[in-house]
Amino acid sequence: MDFQTINPANQETLSSYSYQNQQAVNRSLDAAVAAYQAWSRRTVEDRVGQMGNVASVLESRVTELALLMTTEMGKPLTESRSELEKCIWVCNYYMANASDFLADQPVETDASESMICHAPLGPVLAIMPWNFPFWQVFRFAIPALCAGNVGLLKHSENVTGCSLAIQSIFEDANLPTDVFQSFIVTHDQVEEIIGTDAVAAVTLTGSTRAGKHIASVAGRHLKKTVLELGGSDPYVILADANLDSAVNACVTSRMINGGQSCIAAKRFVVVREVASHFEEAFVDAMSKKVVGDPTASSTDVGPLARQDLVDELHRQVLESIAGGASLALGGAPIDGAGSFYQPTVLTNVQADTPAYNEELFGPVASIIVAEDEDDAIRIANDTRFGLGSAVFTEDIERGRRIAREELEAGSCFVNTFVRSDPRLPFGGIRESGYGRELSREGILEFTNTKTVYIN
């Protein structure tokens, strides 16, 4: 036994696991290469059609998988079910569209025939986080497998049960053996795996620090990478916004997954003219969120996924207050066995404090007052991140201009909260990473865009 998974709602031990030894890892990598040789030679239509089997298995297991997810990482059951439904959606989306995305594209040149083709790369190693244990994996795996690659999953240790369950889904959907495998390995083993000839590419969703490290390892071996990293996502609220609608969207976004989401709103930049009204309504809405047992239907916010995450979040809150922020709500861990933190609102947040500069991964909101639209956009873009952002205004043309031309992020939304959607590319800029997942752009990330020229 090398590690245990813990229920963050009550700190009870769930299961014990051992890391795979090197011989087991080598066998799995050899099996992945063999599986790729066969899988990549199947027709696109054959591969894509099998995603329907995956969706069917998922649909038949929503209840049990939702409970597993909630037990391992703490999100409310309603959110776990929604996450699984989104995984079913991504299966169905690519089943309907992947063949078109991967089709040869004729190009008129001096040749008698020339075209652009999209060939798979090989086994893709996915290093995935705990916060969306199924969705993060499926949004990588489904397009990657449709394109002819095979998947190797290194999941976070605290959701190892979810990791193994995902492998069983692909197996029970009657996909060929070893087309998708879950690995239980250490960080050092991950570096060794990246360096092997078996791995063609790497995708990571996680912290900026983890992304930089894995990118450097992959770079030494010239392996293609896609990184979806952290964010300090700003929402700009202008004077002409519908404040009731804006507050509802902002609170919803901040509290999704207990605030443990890379694209959850984190900094709320409000023009001074409506700041007091927004703050009052925002604090009131946050104060009504019910924190408790994630399996209870009345619960809005479950525990953070681990106790060390509570400790880190509290440090960020205390340092932000010491740096000049005002505490309008919450501000402390909740006593008891679980890893719970109070819904918290910080106002008057100052630059050079964690609540302004860092990603706060939990139910803590930062409100920053701007003098006007230009100042609000300046503050929104004053970040080393660039994953998601939003603007709220009743003037749709104004909102379109700001989202399209002025906010600097991979996803910019108007009058609603940022979310991922299989139909749209998802990813960030700056220290939020590079590359795209989902949509046509996502399925092509792990392909060889090949020129074919026939004279």
Positions in the chain whose pLDDT score sits under 70:
none
Active site residues: 228, 262
For helices 51-60 and 160-172, what crossing angle results, to 10°? 120
The tens digit of pLDDT for each residue in 126-141 reads 999 999 999 999 999 9
Tokens at 438, concatenated: 């989902």
Cβ-contact 99, 44 below 8 angstroms: yes
Q: What is the pTM of this model?
A: 0.96
CATH label, 234-414, candidates 3.40.50.300, 3.30.1490.20, 3.40.50.620, 3.40.309.10: 3.40.309.10
Cα(416)–Cα(367) distance, integer angstroms: 17
The secondary element (H helix, E strand) that includes residue 23 is: helix 22-39
- Predicted local distance difference test score (pLDDT) of residue 88: 98
The angle at the Cα of 308, spanning 250 to 15, to the nearest 5 degrees, equals: 105
- B/e letters for 126-159, b = 16+ CB within 10 Å, e = fewer, are bbbbbbbbbbbbbbbbbbbbbbbbbbbbbbbbbb
Closest CA to 226 of 450, 451, 438: 438
- Predicted local distance difference test score (pLDDT) of residue 296: 97
CATH label, 3-229+429-454, candidates 3.40.605.10, 3.30.70.20, 3.40.50.720, 3.40.50.2300: 3.40.605.10
The secondary element (H helix, E strand) that includes residue 4 is: strand 3-6
- Tell me whether the CATH fold assigned to 3-229+429-454 matches the one assigned to 234-414: no
- Predicted local distance difference test score (pLDDT) of residue 82: 98
Long-range contacts of 104-113 (CB under 8 A, 24+ apart): 104/452, 109/453, 111/453, 111/454, 111/455, 112/454, 112/455, 113/452, 113/454
Which residues are 190's β-sheet partners?
A: none
The secondary element (H helix, E strand) that includes residue 14 is: strand 13-17
Going from N- to C-terminal start, the domains of the chain cover 3-229+429-454, 234-414
The tens digit of pLDDT for each residue in 252-307 reads 999 999 999 999 999 999 999 999 999 999 999 999 999 999 999 999 999 999 99
Alpha carbon separation from 85 to 55, 57, 76, 82 (Å, rounded): 9, 12, 15, 5
- Predicted local distance difference test score (pLDDT) of residue 1: 72
- Predicted local distance difference test score (pLDDT) of residue 134: 98
- Predicted local distance difference test score (pLDDT) of residue 170: 98
Cα(180)–Cα(166) distance, integer angstroms: 9
